[in-house]
Amino acid sequence: MTQPLLKPTDAADVLGICTKTLQECRRRGLKYVKVARGAIRYRADDLQDYIEAQTQCHSEPRKPASINTTSSLGVIAFEDLAGRRTSKPRKR
């Protein structure tokens, strides 16, 4: 059985955002259905899938941008540079 399609205002209420932000979500991957004359509707399952895809767990450790702290040009990562500065005694 097919589920009823939600109007943009109803879909925005489900996500807790305004309809303008809902348009931005479509550009970022939120699925939608185009019906007659360009009217846009949303399936509840697609809204739930979008919520799941956007859910992030902040308790997981962040992965470093790269394994190496230096690039092929010899540029040192900022975090590495800060660590080196704190370990050296300062000259006065």
pLDDT tens sequence across 28-78: 999 999 998 889 999 999 999 999 988 887 666 666 655 555 555 565 555
- The pLDDT score that the predictor gives to residue 45 is 93
Distance CA 23, CA 38 (A): 14
Distance CA 82, CA 76 (A): 10
Question: For the residues 14-26, what does the mean pLDDT come to?
Answer: 94
Distance CA 70, CA 5 (A): 52
- Closest among 10, 5, 45, 12 to 26, alpha carbons compared: 12
